[in-house]
Chain A
Amino acid sequence: MTDLTKLSLVEARKGLAAKSFSSTELTGAYLSAIEAANPALNAYVAVTGEQALSMAKASDAKLAQGEGGALEGIPLGIKDLFGTKGVHTQAASHILDGFKPEYESTVTSNLWRDGAVMLGKLNMDEFAMGSSNETSFYGPVISPFRAESSNANLVPGGSSGGSAAAVSAWLCAAATATDTGGSIRQPAAFTGTVGIKPTYGRCSRWGVVAFASSLDQAGPIARTVEDAAVMMTSMSGFDPKDSTSAQLAVPDFAAAVERGVKGLTIGVPREYRMDGMPAEIEKLWQQGLDWLRAEGATVRDISLPHTKYALPAYYIVAPAEASSNLARYDGVKYGLRVSGKDITDMYELTRAAGFGREVKRRIMIGTYVLSAGYFDAYYVQAQKVRTLIKKDFEDAFNAGVDAILTPATPSAAFGIGDEAMAADPVKMYLNDVFTVTVNMAGLPGIAVPAGKDGQGLPLGLQLIGKPFDEETLFAAARVIERSANMDFSPKPWW
């Protein structure tokens, strides 16, 4: 039998429907792959083997009757940020030690409703704060990719590094992920996978551990554009339990994938041409534009004048919201408790021991910018700049642009323990320079693999769309995927 883990989600779905194999066999193949690979890659922080096999068995019963949902019997990995009832949910943090929610997040409920099988929980940067998956309490995820003729371990990107590595290394058919400043798109770009952050409000945030509530959105990471579209359709939908959930019908995103780009206008923002951008990124960008042009799109230069202020504004807004959201971890309601001489002492010792360095740093920044005397200078100013960033995009769309093409990241994946980034937090933050604007404006953005650097490492392009027009992103990303026509799978070394 062929290796079932190598099938795309859509291929696996066809095989299950045709009864070429069962979900139990498919799930078993993934569980074996995880067992073999996880000691090296550290992509999963919890494997739910028994639960997976019992879900697969239930799916097989449905499939045998010719029934079942859109994801019936498909084994998925779930980022540790999603609340999963009775199952490890710790946002890869020490402070949530032992936490097993009494509820299920809306997004994962939607996936189980459609028949998906849960393989386990995926590693991530602690509380989704990071761009390299090195801030996890469970240790870094190692990328399945290595540079040609090198044994050095690389980062898979972050914060959804476990999701990206697991999808790329055939440890799940697809995965859930979340994106606050680039946490779906940057790891997707580093691992040759497809990742989409939908429009703010498209996926319910209910039951997902909160980082920065006005920026957080869930989305999928998958091996193909079509797989991502199938995942997106199941994950999306109105949820009365999330006050910012959009009351809109969910299109069949997969139906838009082969729609093409004929007649579309693609914007190219001149402010994204950064000083010192590697020539290979510039070349990739031009190549992407040529592919879209060749299929009938018009390319137009545009200006998004406030681009350079998006990252600094983000590093006020996101930590401010995080400092508020993470106030709930106090050693009383769940997770870790470190005893102290009184209750304040207990709070301070619990939080000092339970949060990692990056999380503490961001809570401190957030607390500072919200503190008396600084609120207007920092937070209010950042929210005004955010209004201007959003207006830049609105102006471009109003002038007839349908989607915007940019690089996904300023470079390919870097090494574990990169010294320059460890020494200067801002260097690490610059990873999100092309993605963070999209969160600030609440827009949808997709990262699609488009080429490789000189070392054979994947490079991605990003498409940014109008609010709730993910369909155009899937269509345009598919043109890039088809035009690139490259194998973006890693060479197994694990």
Chain B
Amino acid sequence: MSVDAATVKRIGRLARIRIEDNEVATYQDELNTILGFVEQLSEVDVTGVEPMTSVTPMVLRRRDDVVTDGGYPERIVANAPLSEDNFFMVPKVIE
């Protein structure tokens, strides 16, 4: 499998990273090099093998579904590039 220029642009859109036209060729080469390298995985016989979901045998701990933290919105927005009245500010999304 190899990626073409249109695919590079499409991945960029999915990843929300602007890919300028003059960058497409370089990304295309690099992605194809990496994908070529990982291609060898297809030769491994994985019949009956379960995909790994946890690297150590463990069961996810559960806790009571209660509020254990919070109540400090000013700390949540403290690092925002733009905020007002403890809200994050973004460009208008609904016309």
Contact = CB atoms under 8 A, between A and B. Distances in A.
B81 A316 contact: no
Interface residues of B, number: 52
Interface in B9-61: 11-20, 27, 30-31, 33-35, 37-42, 44, 46, 49-56, 58, 60-61
Given A102-B78, A384-B50, A364 B55 contact: no
Contacts of A380: 51
Given A312-B41, A364-B12, A388-B46, A442 B79 contact: no
A179 B60 CA distance: 23
Interface residues of A, number: 74
A248 B61 CA distance: 14
A425 B18 CA distance: 21
Contact of B17 (A101, A332, A363, A382): A363
B15 A363 contact: yes
Contacts of B6: none
A178 to B, nearest CB: 16
Contacts of A347: 16
A441 B91 CA distance: 44
A243 interface: yes
A335 B88 CA distance: 13
B16 A309 contact: no
Which residue of B3, B18, B63, B93 has the most chain A CB atoms within 10 A of its CB atom? B18
A453 interface: no
A108 B13 CA distance: 37
A352 B17 contact: yes
A312 B56 contact: no
Interface stretch (A113-121, A186-194, A337-345): A337-345
Interface string A446-481: 000000000000000000000100000000000000
B90 interface: yes
A491 interface: no
B82 interface: yes
B15 A244 contact: no
A332 B31 contact: no
Given A240-B61, A332-B81, A332-B88, A246 B56 contact: yes
Given A312-B41, A352-B18, A355-B17, A425 B33 contact: yes
B73 to A, nearest CB: 11
Interface in A407-422: none
Nearest to B63: A240
B88 A102 contact: no
Interface string A42-62: 000000000000000000000
A199 to B, nearest CB: 7
A331 B30 contact: no
Given A348-B18, A349-B18, A388 B79 contact: no
Nearest to A351: B17
B93 to A, nearest CB: 5
Interface string A284-316: 000000000000000000000010110111011
The DSSP consensus for interface residues of chain A is helix
Contacts of B63: 240
Given A316-B41, A367-B14, A343 B33 contact: no
Given A306-B44, A380-B51, A426 B79 contact: no
Nearest to A323: B15
B83 to A, nearest CB: 9
B61 to A, nearest CB: 7
Contacts of A365: 31, 34-35
A390 B52 CA distance: 9
B46 A102 contact: no
A87 interface: no
A351 B16 contact: yes
A84 to B, nearest CB: 14
Nearest to A334: B79
A166 interface: no
A333 B77 CA distance: 7
Contacts of B79: 98-102, 333-335
A343 B90 CA distance: 7
A342 B91 contact: yes
B5 interface: no
B56 A382 contact: no
Interface in A254-307: 306
Interface of A: 98-102, 199-201, 214-215, 240, 243-244, 246-247, 306, 308-309, 311-313, 315-316, 323, 327, 330-337, 339-340, 342-344, 346-349, 351-352, 355, 360-361, 363-365, 367-368, 371, 374, 377-378, 380-388, 390, 424-426, 429, 440-442, 467
Interface of B: 1, 3, 7-8, 11-20, 27, 30-31, 33-35, 37-42, 44, 46, 49-56, 58, 60-61, 63, 75-76, 78-82, 88, 90-93
Given A343-B91, A364-B12, A371-B14, 11 more contacts: A244-B54, A244-B56, A311-B37, A327-B16, A332-B81, A332-B90, A348-B12, A351-B16, A368-B31, A383-B52, A384-B49
7 contacts: A246-B56, A247-B61, A309-B44, A312-B39, A340-B91, A351-B15, A374-B1
